[in-house]
Structures are given as C-alpha cells and as structure tokens.
Amino acid sequence: MSRAARETILGAIRKRLREARLGEGLPEDRDAVGPAPRHRLLDADAEQLLTAFRARIEPLGVLVHEVGGLDEALELVRARLRDAGARTVACSDAAALSDLLSRELEAGFQAVDPGDSEALFGADAGVCCAQAGIAETGSLVLDADRERHRLVSLIPPLHIALLHRDRVVPDLATALRDALTEGRAPTALTLITGPSRTADIELKLVVGVHGPKALEIVVHGD
C-alpha cells in the first residue's frame, strides 16, 4: 500500500470517528480534554488529581458526584437509584463496604445475588467500590481480590461506583505499585473508562451494547 493510499484511509477513519463523537455529544478531539501532562500529575495533590480525573472521564458522559463522608455517599447512591427507577440492585462484595452497602440498599430495593450471573442480567443497577481512580486516563480500577463479584459493574445497565477521594492516583503505574505494596499481586485488575461503547464496521458508536449504558461515580471522603 502506498503512503498516499494509507493516509487516505486513515483520514477517512478519523473523519468518521469525529462524526461519531459529535453524534454522541462528545468533544471532537478527546485528547484536547483532560489532565495536565503526566509529569505534572506525579507532583499533584489530591485535589488536583481529582480535578484531572474528572476532566478526563466526564466528557465520556460519566456523572461524578463529590460528597463528604460515607453516610452522604450512601444517601446519594440511594437517591440516584430512585431517580433512575431502579428496583433490583446488586452490590459487590468489596470488603470495606459490602455489608454496609447491602444493608443500606436492601431497605428500599430488592437485592440481587451478585454471584448469580443469570440474575444479574435482570438487575436494574450494580453498585461497587473502586479501589483506585487513574487521573491520567479517567479510569476506575477494580481489584479482583477485593471486588470478587465484579460482574455487578459489567452487566446491569446502570453502574454506580464509590471511590474514596484519597484513592485517585496519577497513573496506572502508581495503581499497580500500590496494589503490590501488600506483598501480593492482584489476581486481576479491571479498568473501566466510561460506559460500555462499541462501533460497527461503519464506525457508528453505540453505548451499552456489551455493558452498562450509564456510569456514575460517587467520590467520598473529607
């Protein structure tokens, strides 16, 4: 293939990608929206990291809510589930919050067994805890050893994730380093950057075909 032909093909692909982004309400050039360069993020404080994280993920249609303590976070989760009309909810088994999440949500919603993959396809929403957020890419990190029922983040049409403010890190390398500080290697890490998106051969972007149509993040911690 000649260089001219290759550039023609790549130019057509870029054009269709721009059209798809604009059709979905996304910025024409996603790379123009985001955090400071990586070397600046490494020296950033918690507030700057969270700002960069939001700048990267919100253009993808993700709602990010900031609250104070955990009680406020749980109340907001309940409110967002009610607003979405969710009735059946699956909670992950994150060690830090699993019992609390389940107890708080079961009072107003029907609980779905997070270990039953077939039942999850009938759930209206899934709620989990993210072990980290990556400012450089706007990604959530789910550790398989702490989020043993990660399917709650992959199957229901609405995914709500709780993220502690102090767990936003500059980049993936930092997230991996932190995961290894306890002397163990995670069985698996799931990286989530926005709702599920896919494109057909004509590059028409569709949301929610292979996963949640909506992602909301509740950032908590004073």
Among residues 158, 93, 99, 104, the alpha carbon closest in space to that of 126 is found at 158
Q: Are residues 119 and 202 in the same domain?
A: yes
pTM: 0.76
Single-letter residue type at 157? P
Query: What average pLDDT does the chain have?
Result: 81
Any idea what the CATH number is for the domain that residue 161 is in?
3.40.50.10420
Looking at residue 64, its pLDDT comes to: 97
Q: Are residues 91 and 107 in the same domain?
A: yes
User: What is the tally of structural domains in the chain?
Assistant: 2
207, 24 in Cβ contact below 8 A? yes
Which domain covers residue 146, as residue numbers? 33-220
The answer to which of 6-10, 22-26, 126-130, 174-178 has the lowest mean pLDDT is 22-26
79, 67 in Cβ contact below 8 A? no
Roughly how many angstroms between the first and final C-alpha of the chain, as a whole number? 57
Looking at residue 58, its pLDDT comes to: 94
Chain centroid, CA 163 distance in Å:
10
- For residue 71, what pLDDT band results from cuts at 50, 70 and 90? confident
Q: Are residues 91 and 10 in the same domain?
A: no
154, 125 in Cβ contact below 8 A? no
Is residue 148 exposed (0-12), middle (13-18) or buried (19+ Cβ within 10 Å)? Answer: middle
Q: Are residues 70 and 6 in the same domain?
A: no
Q: Are residues 97 and 131 in the same domain?
A: yes
Q: Are residues 99 and 203 in the same domain?
A: yes
Residue-wise pLDDT for 27-48, tens only, equals 545 444 444 455 567 778 889 9
Q: Are residues 15 and 121 in the same domain?
A: no
Q: Are residues 24 and 37 in the same domain?
A: no
Among residues 79, 92, 157, 85, the alpha carbon closest in space to that of 122 is found at 157
Q: Are residues 21 and 51 in the same domain?
A: no
Q: Are residues 23 and 56 in the same domain?
A: no
Q: Are residues 87 and 134 in the same domain?
A: yes
Q: How much of the chain, in percent, has pLDDT values that exceed 90?
A: 37
